[in-house]
Amino acid sequence: TQIIARPGTTQQMERLTVDHSHLRDSRILLVEDAVPTQLLVQLLLEDHFHVATADSAEQAQIQSLEETPDLILLDINLAEDGMSGLELCKDLKSRAATRHIPIIFLTSAECDDTEEACWNAGGQDFIRKPINETTLLNRIRNQLILKRQAENLTRMAYVDPLTCSFNRRYFEEQLNAQVAHNARHHRSMSLLMLDIDNFKRVNDTYGHTTGDECLELVASALREEVGRPMDQVCRYGGEEFAILLPETDLTGATWIAGKINKRFRDRLAEIPSGGVDEEGLPGLTVSIGVACRLPSEGVKSLICRADQALYQAKQSGRDCFCV
Ligand code: GH3
Ligand code: MG
Ligand code: MG
Ligand code: MG
Ligand code: MG
């Protein structure tokens, strides 16, 4: 409240008003078995969104998994020989890949039980037939806006804007979750802590803008080197990165650390001594601390060992990794 009360803040916030014109690009999946209703709803929506249709729950299930629509309009009463609308909703809400897709039911029933069933199945809203055009469009719009806002907030909470790597908050949450999971299932996991060598010199020589571009370059190189989708590159702080390697033992982790060192060394070799590459970025090297989680080891100790190994790599002359 204090921030809002500060003079000028309200005007500043007003300038942040969100533009919703992008909603036009939204893809809606309409699941309806009655042809007249399907045509009518399609007609109402086609000037506002991209609309795909499905006649059965089974068909809609495949389309949802393959095309991940932004929203599903789901007839509650589908042909009786297959999965019902409610069953499809429950199924989609139980899968990580489709859980986030908002579902609005289309229902002709006017009893409380049906409404309750829609909510219980995990639906976000429902619309009664006969369909009111304005209500239909606004209910869809509201769900799309909510979804977009949730996505934006998640991105802002977990992604570093400069390097597009995960941020420290994400790193800590993931590390805690992974350590807990590995402790239960006796799986191996490793952590790399990486620090750019003599980075202050890069800023001092070429300026902070070039320094920032170097950070972007390092982050994307790291993402390329780790390769597997489950490996996660996080910006730990200033010019330090932490890399989470699930299902990776010490041999695997040192192999990746060696690959990372080599990548920057190879690039450095291609740049004229003391010069810059085609993008105007100087050569640089990195130091890496490698730690593989010991049985029953906790988060703090794991980070501490990776950090000590990083310190050792710096002491050993940089441009290398230590365990
Ligand atoms: P060392 O090899 O011992 O790590 O030397 P160093 O110069 O890299 O270490 P130091 O910790 O002294 O300096 C890190 C520098 O990273 C200082 C800081 O200005 C720079 N830095 C941190 N965050 C950013 C950033 O977001 N952008 C830019 N351009 N520089 C940053
Ligand atoms: Mg029907
Ligand atoms: Mg540092
Ligand atoms: Mg450094
Ligand atoms: Mg330092």
Q: Tell me, yes or no, if 133 is annotated catalytic.
A: no
pLDDT at position 19 is 76
pLDDT at position 13 is 63
Concatenate the DSSP letters of all residues of 232-293 into one string.
Answer: EEEEEETTEEEEEEET--HHHHHHHHHHHHHHHHHHHHHSPTT-B-TTSPBP--EEEEEEEP
Checking if the pLDDT of 27 tops 70, the result is yes
* pLDDT tens, position by position, 174-196: 999 999 999 899 899 999 999 99
Q: Are the beta carbons of 303 and 290 closer than 8 angstroms?
A: no
With CA atoms as reference, report the closest residue to 291 among 198, 222, 194, 219: 194
Residues with Cβ < 8 Å from 154, sequence gap 6 or more?
none
CA distances from 242 to 99, 131, 174, 287, 302 (A): 29, 52, 11, 12, 12
Query: Once rounded to an integer, what is the mean pLDDT over residues 292-321?
Result: 97
Residue showing tokens 């105007």? 280
SS3 297: coil
Closest residue by Cα to atom 15, ligand 1, is: 200
Scored b (16 or more CB within 10 A) or e, 2-41 reads eeeeeeeeeeeeeeeeeeeeeeeebebbbbbbbeebbebb
At 82, the pLDDT band (50, 70, 90 cuts) reads: confident
Alpha helix locations (H) across 76-167? Answer: 85-93, 112-120, 133-158
Q: Which atom of ligand 1 is nearest to the CA of 196?
A: 8
Options 66, 172, 239, 279, the catalytic residue: 239
Give Rg (Cα) of the chain.
26
pLDDT at position 3 is 45
Mutation choice for ligand 1 from 167, 209, 215, 239, CB with most ligand atoms inside 8 A = 239
pLDDT at position 21 is 80
Taking the C-alpha atoms of residue 165 and residue 218, their distance in angstroms, rounded to an integer, is: 10
Q: What is the pTM of this model?
A: 0.84
pLDDT at position 2 is 45
SS3 190: strand
Residues with Cβ < 8 Å from 72, sequence gap 6 or more?
28, 29, 31, 60, 64, 92, 101, 102, 103, 104
Q: How confident is the prediction for the chain on average, in pLDDT?
A: 93
Residues with CB under 6 A from ligand 1: 195-200, 203, 208, 211-212, 215, 238-239, 314, 318
Cα of 144 from ligand 2 centre, angstroms = 24
Pairing between β-strand 189-196 and β-strand 286-292 as defined by DSSP bridges: antiparallel
CA distances from 260 to 112, 168, 227, 264 (A): 61, 21, 11, 7
Residue/partner pairs of 84-87 with CB below 8 Å, 24 or more apart: 84/57, 85/31, 85/57, 86/117, 86/118, 86/121, 87/57, 87/121
Q: Which atom of ligand 1 is nearest to the CA of 211?
A: 29
Pairing between β-strand 232-237 and β-strand 240-246 as defined by DSSP bridges: antiparallel
ipTM: 0.95
